[in-house]
A and B are shown apart, each in its own frame.
Chain A
């Protein structure tokens, strides 16, 4: 089998976790994990022959000999030095996939917000953990989700109690320390948002150093009835980084979920955003922005599954592709037979700035209900020359006219961010990448 080195490492990691279970191997949580390992071993890594991986070839990035559980030599100051301006809220630090409790700062009261390791969650909220851990992640068909579930050990369970509005955002800062070697990380977090609760969550990924990294991240989010969740994923890793992430969301009646995924930098990025609308009168928003350059590859897959009537989903992804970069957008919308009166919209808009860049878009609608409103659109084009000339004719140099237009193109996705610190950070990063 190809990539056997990596697979052996994962098997060893799994064995190490199993050794430390202290007789809890038969707990529901650990049962799910060992089943997932079986699923992973059966599937192996996907190749481009796999329909969902047609345009994203993993061969090269899986060849490297990544080291897992690397002890970082970075000081606390260095870990915290990632430039998020005006940082405020519950700030959780992860280094190479492992939660760093001693660096983290939880400011919300414990009756509203609990942050637990998976081990703690098994003691404190066993029923909730069993109800939500890996309930909707598809380990049988998705190798990386299976692997991630099998090795879930180092992340956190975030629990927001019923009827609680969290004033302070939760910001998860994921740092890959690649200063001295190629590093791998399995990141697994579970966010349970109780009935009628409200929270804003951000995941910000970054690398320090110029070696390669491999991150397999899965975040599960359960959005209870009437709950409201804003979720931002920000990726700004180096050109040798590989990120394969899945955000798996489950929404109940009258809930609101807003996701925005920003890929500012990264070598090989695959984001899966899977949302199940498992109730009525749900609102779901999905926004995305990716701005790859050089030989970066960014692949966004989304699945919106309308299972019940009267809900709305709206999706808009935007891409700016420079140099030799490649992009993929694959958006699936399912409207089940029961999901009458569904409104589902999807749009993907791309600007190709270089003749060597490529974008592949594939919308996929499967509709079994007859009284629904659905639309999708995908455009890939170049910058508008007439607009550039218009700006030039007003005295704005050509290069700047191009940058102004690109930033304006990105702006409507960025401007909606409700965590100030993340908003400012992104504005800065986008300007840095596209030019002043």
Chain B
């Protein structure tokens, strides 16, 4: 589904990703972990198409096509969804209207007719239960005045509405208490199926207690320096990142 090869990317002239290789198959959940500043969020942003990030080399093939040829909105239409680390407040645009526009734009790009109002509302009701989001909240301006937990739930709710093929969660656990974390994770787990894959970017292991990954990768200095199973995440939880940093930093560059 997704094949990242030797991906290099910079922001403001500074190289952040320095040769990422990663393959995600349908239905898989990959966790990307790593210390602060290792490039985790950059990877998520590059995949979604944020334009401050400049791709300096390598390739990303998504469903057989070069991902970098598509604008962010076209990537969304092809099934890529980024749950933001810091969801944006948009005054004056209600979540309902925002999502109606988004759903119908994606349908349009995929050659489908717009959804009628009744079906849309039915879908909203169903999906809002998934993350226990108060439907009243959805009538308000998008994320405006929402608590941290409400914003993150709204991200997962939007993901449920847009039914992506590849969900990228950028530090969705940051700022969440344990109850909110569980609700968000339950929502994601509900969306897991054999065709839908996830990349879960996180600093801490605790999210992975709830969203159990198939693969865990450790990012450091813009590279994946270690890959393993969920056991690797547990090890990181116990020992921290220092031993990995030491391992990498002590290697004499070839």
Contact = CB atoms under 8 A, between A and B. Distances in A.
Interface of A: 384, 386-387, 389-398, 400, 404-405, 407-409, 411-412
A400 B92 contact: no
Contact of B82 (A393, A408, A412): A393
B88 A387 contact: yes
Contacts of B102: 391, 394-396
Given A394-B158, A395-B162, A412-B92, A400 B105 contact: yes
B50 A389 contact: yes
B11 to A, nearest CB: 14
B98 A391 contact: yes
A297 to B, nearest CB: 26
Interface stretch (B71-79, B187-195, B215-223): B71-79
Contacts of A409: 91-92
User: Size range of the interface on B?
Assistant: 20 to 34
B209 interface: no
Contact of A392 (B72, B87, B98): B72
Interface string B47-82: 011110000000000000000000111011100011
A386 B162 CA distance: 20
A393 B141 CA distance: 18
A368 B27 CA distance: 70
A319 to B, nearest CB: 15
A391 B98 CA distance: 8
Interface of B: 48-51, 71-73, 75-77, 81-82, 84, 87-93, 98-99, 101-103, 105-106, 109, 141, 158, 162
A395 B158 contact: no
Task: Please classify the interface of chain A as helix (H, G, I), strand (E, B), loop, or mixed, using the class held by over half of its residues.
Answer: helix
Given A384-B88, A392-B49, 18 more contacts: A387-B88, A392-B71, A392-B72, A392-B73, A393-B75, A393-B76, A393-B82, A395-B77, A395-B102, A395-B162, A396-B101, A400-B101, A400-B105, A404-B93, A405-B93, A408-B91, A408-B92, A408-B141
14 contacts: A386-B88, A390-B88, A391-B90, A392-B49, A394-B99, A395-B76, A395-B162, A397-B105, A398-B73, A404-B98, A405-B90, A405-B92, A408-B91, A412-B92
Nearest to A409: B92
B49 A394 contact: no
Nearest to A408: B92
Given A389-B51, A390-B84, A404-B101, A395 B90 contact: no
Contacts of B162: 394-395
Closest 7 CB pairs of A and B: A408-B92, A395-B76, A392-B72, A394-B102, A395-B106, A390-B88, A392-B73
Contacts of A386: 88
Contact of B87 (A390, A400, A411): A390
Contacts of A391: 90, 98, 102
Given A389-B72, A400-B101, A395 B88 contact: no
